Structure 1
Amino acid sequence: MREVVSINRYLSDPQHVSQTGNASSQHLDVYELTITDFKHKTKVLLSSNLYRLVQLNQLWVGCAVKFTSCQMFFDEADLSGKTVIVVNNLDVTGHEDVDAEEVKKIPWCSDSPEVEKLDLPLTSSRGYYLSLWSSMEMRGEIWKTSVSLSKNLGGAGEKIYVIKEVAQKWTFIRHINPVLVVRVLLKSRVIHYAKPGKNDKWPFQAHLLVADESGACTAVLWNAMCPEIYHGISEGSILLLRKYNVKKSFQTIPRFRPAHYPLELYDIDININSHHPATEITILDPDAVPDDLTLPDVQYNFLSRKSISFLPDNFVCDVIGVVTYIGRYEREPIQNKHGHDSGGFWIKLWIHLRDDTSPHFFYIQLYRVAEGHARPDIVPGQLLVCRHLRVIQGLESMSTSRDKRYVYLTSTAETQVTTFNKNVDMKLQSVDRVQEVIRWSETVDIRKLTECSVIGGYFAYPICPSSVKGIQNLYKDLAMTSSQDWTTLVKGLSYRECRRVLVQAVMVQVQLKQSQGTVRWRYSITNRNLQEKEASDSNQQTDLVHEVLLNSEIYQSQIPVDILGTSFTEILSTRPVAYTPAMWNLVKQHWDFPPSSLLDQDVTWHKEELKAIDQTFLTISWLGLNSKVILQTLFLCPSDIPSDSSLLDLLSGRGYINSLEPSQIATCHLDLLETAYDCANQRFLLVLDLYQRDSQDVEIMLNRAVPLDNKS
Structure 2
Amino acid sequence: MESSSCCSSMVADLPQESFLQRTLERLPSTQSLKLTAEEAAPVAVVAIQRYLSEPTEGQQLDSYSYDVTITDGVWRAKCFLHPSLNHLVHRNTLRTGTDVSVRQCSFVYNERRLGHGYICIEKVESSAETSSLLPRINNPSSLPMLVKHGMERSVLLQSDVPLQVSRKHYLSLWNNDDPEGDMWISGSASPDPVLDVSKVTLLSSLESSFRASWKPLPLLVKIIHKSRLRYYGKFGLKIDYPFQTYFEVADQSGTMSLVLWNELCPEYYLRMNVGAVLYLQNYTLKQSYSNRSRPQMDHHRMKNFTSVEICLNPRNPAAVITVVSPKSVLPQWGLPEVSYQFTARSELEKISNGSACDVIGLVTFVGRVERVRSKGNKAPEKYWTYRWVHSVDGTSDRPFILELFSSSQPEIFNQICPMTYLVCTQMRVCQVEGSLPYLTSSCETEIFITGYHKGQPYVSDPRVKSFIQWTKTLKDNVVLQKTAVGGHYCYPPPPRRFSQSATDTSGQVPLVAASDLKRELESLQYREHKKLAIQGEIAAIRYRNDPKKVSNEPQDYSSDTHKDPADCLMSPSSDRSKANTRKRTNQLRLRCFVLGEQQLVKAARRNHGAFASRRPASGQRLSQVHLRREERPAAVEQPSADALDAAGGRRRRATAHSQPGALPADHTGH
Same fold (TM over 0.5): yes
Could you tell me which residue of structure 2 aligns to residue 691 of structure 1?
A: 628
1:470, distance to aligned residue in structure 2 (A): 8.4
Could you tell me which residue of structure 2 aligns to residue 31 of structure 1?
A: 66
Could you tell me which residue of structure 1 aligns to residue 517 of structure 2?
A: 486
Q: Which amino acid in 2 is paired with 1:240?
A: Y
1:413, distance to aligned residue in structure 2 (A): 0.3
- Distance, in Å, in 1 between the alignment partners of 2:421 and 2:602 is 45
Given candidates 78, 81, 94, the residue that maps to 1:43 is 78
Task: State how 1:630-649 maps to structure 2 within 5 Å.
Answer: none
The more displaced of 450-459 and 245-254 is 245-254
Could you tell me which residue of structure 2 aligns to residue 377 of structure 1?
A: 415
Closer/same/farther in 2, CA of residues 63 and 428 from structure 1, 3 Å limit: closer
- Distance, in Å, in 1 between the alignment partners of 2:255 and 2:76 is 52
Could you tell me which residue of structure 2 aligns to residue 502 of structure 1?
A: 533
Q: Which amino acid in 1 is paired with 2:497?
A: S
Correspondence 1:456 to 2:456: no
The more displaced of 52-61 and 65-74 is 65-74
What is the aligned residue count?
548
Could you tell me which residue of structure 1 aligns to residue 3 of structure 2?
A: none
Closer/same/farther in 2, CA of residues 103 and 630 from structure 1, 3 Å limit: farther
1:5, distance to aligned residue in structure 2 (A): 1.8
Given candidates 276, 285, 294, the residue that maps to 2:316 is 276
Could you tell me which residue of structure 2 aligns to residue 442 of structure 1?
A: 472
Could you tell me which residue of structure 1 aligns to residue 90 of structure 2?
A: 55
Could you tell me which residue of structure 1 aligns to residue 17 of structure 2?
A: none
Could you tell me which residue of structure 1 aligns to residue 103 of structure 2?
A: 68
Could you tell me which residue of structure 2 aligns to residue 286 of structure 1?
A: 326
Q: Summarize deviations over 1:586-629 as a string: whole Å, max 9, x none.
A: xxxxxxxxxxxxxxxxxxxxxxxxxxxx9986665443334799
Q: Summarize deviations over 1:662-705 as a string: whole Å, max 9, x none.
A: xxxxxxxxxxx98753559875321111121159xxxxxxxxxx
1:260 counterpart SS class: helix
Q: Which amino acid in 1 is paired with 2:544?
A: L
Correspondence 1:106 to 2:143: yes
2:85 counterpart SS class: helix
Task: State how 1:171-186 maps to structure 2 within 5 Å.
Answer: 171=211, 176-186=215-225
Q: Summarize deviations over 1:368-418 as a string: whole Å, max 9, x none.
A: 1433245473231232211100000124xxxxxxxx243110000011111
Contact 2:77–2:147 (Cα < 8 Å) also in 1: no
Higher strand share goes to which structure? 1
Q: Summarize deviations over 1:118-168 as a string: whole Å, max 9, x none.
A: 111111433321222223334111112323485x35244751221122332
- Distance, in Å, in 2 between the alignment partners of 1:242 and 1:325 is 46
Correspondence 1:121 to 2:151: no
Could you tell me which residue of structure 2 aligns to residue 339 of structure 1?
A: 379
Q: Summarize deviations over 1:240-294 as a string: whole Å, max 9, x none.
A: 1122122222336784553222322222221112222222212212332344210
- Distance, in Å, in 2 between the alignment partners of 1:26 and 1:629 is 46
The more displaced of 112-121 and 355-364 is 112-121
Contact 1:10–1:121 (Cα < 8 Å) also in 2: yes
- Distance, in Å, in 2 between the alignment partners of 1:573 and 1:6 is 37
Correspondence 1:234 to 2:268: no
- Distance, in Å, in 1 between the alignment partners of 2:587 and 2:451 is 36
1:453, distance to aligned residue in structure 2 (A): 0.6
Correspondence 1:196 to 2:235: yes
Given candidates 582, 587, 595, the residue that maps to 1:623 is 595
Correspondence 1:83 to 2:117: yes
Could you tell me which residue of structure 1 aligns to residue 405 of structure 2?
A: 367
Could you tell me which residue of structure 2 aligns to residue 139 of structure 1?
A: 180
2:401 counterpart SS class: strand
Contact 1:510–1:618 (Cα < 8 Å) also in 2: yes
Q: Summarize deviations over 1:80-134 as a string: whole Å, max 9, x none.
A: 2533433332222224241453422321124251344311111143332122222
1:693 counterpart SS class: coil
- Distance, in Å, in 1 between the alignment partners of 2:601 and 2:373 is 25
1:292 counterpart SS class: helix
Contact 1:366–1:410 (Cα < 8 Å) also in 2: yes
- Distance, in Å, in 2 between the alignment partners of 1:259 and 1:375 is 28
Consecutive unaligned residues of structure 2, counting only runs of 5 or more, are 1-40, 558-563, 566-585, 604-609, 633-670
2:299 counterpart SS class: coil
1:494 counterpart SS class: coil
Correspondence 1:353 to 2:388: no
2:517 counterpart SS class: helix
Could you tell me which residue of structure 1 aligns to residue 262 of structure 2?
A: 223
1:171, distance to aligned residue in structure 2 (A): 4.9
Q: Which amino acid in 2 is paired with 1:96?
A: S
Could you tell me which residue of structure 2 aligns to residue 6 of structure 1?
A: 47
Q: Which amino acid in 2 is paired with 1:250?
A: Y
- Distance, in Å, in 2 between the alignment partners of 1:408 and 1:354 is 13
Q: Which amino acid in 1 is paired with 2:623?
A: L
Closer/same/farther in 2, CA of residues 616 and 7 from structure 1, 3 Å limit: farther
Task: State how 1:294-443 maps to structure 2 within 5 Å.
Answer: 294-335=334-375, 337-339=377-379, 341=381, 344-375=382-413, 377-395=415-433, 404-419=434-449, 424-425=454-455, 427-443=457-473
- Distance, in Å, in 2 between the alignment partners of 1:484 and 1:284 is 62
1:388 counterpart SS class: strand
Normalising by structure 1, report the TM-score.
Answer: 0.70
Q: Summarize deviations over 1:164-198 as a string: whole Å, max 9, x none.
A: 2233224567x634111101111011111001112
Contact 1:126–1:200 (Cα < 8 Å) also in 2: no
Closer/same/farther in 2, CA of residues 87 and 345 from structure 1, 3 Å limit: same
Contact 1:351–1:366 (Cα < 8 Å) also in 2: yes
Could you tell me which residue of structure 2 aligns to residue 528 of structure 1?
A: none
Correspondence 1:512 to 2:548: no
Closer/same/farther in 2, CA of residues 253 and 8 from structure 1, 3 Å limit: closer
Closer/same/farther in 2, CA of residues 146 and 516 from structure 1, 3 Å limit: farther
Closer/same/farther in 2, CA of residues 458 and 172 from structure 1, 3 Å limit: same
Closer/same/farther in 2, CA of residues 157 and 97 from structure 1, 3 Å limit: closer
Closer/same/farther in 2, CA of residues 276 and 110 from structure 1, 3 Å limit: same
Could you tell me which residue of structure 1 aligns to residue 578 of structure 2?
A: none
1:511, distance to aligned residue in structure 2 (A): 6.7
1:339 counterpart SS class: coil
1:488 counterpart SS class: helix
- Distance, in Å, in 2 between the alignment partners of 1:53 and 1:157 is 56
Q: Which amino acid in 2 is paired with 1:389?
A: M
Closer/same/farther in 2, CA of residues 23 and 434 from structure 1, 3 Å limit: farther
Could you tell me which residue of structure 1 aligns to residue 576 of structure 2?
A: none
Contact 2:85–2:122 (Cα < 8 Å) also in 1: yes
1:139 counterpart SS class: coil
The more displaced of 425-434 and 54-63 is 425-434
Calculate the aligned-residue CA RMSD, in Å.
3.6
Closer/same/farther in 2, CA of residues 34 and 572 from structure 1, 3 Å limit: farther
The percentage of counterpart residues that share the same residue type is 26
1:52, distance to aligned residue in structure 2 (A): 1.1
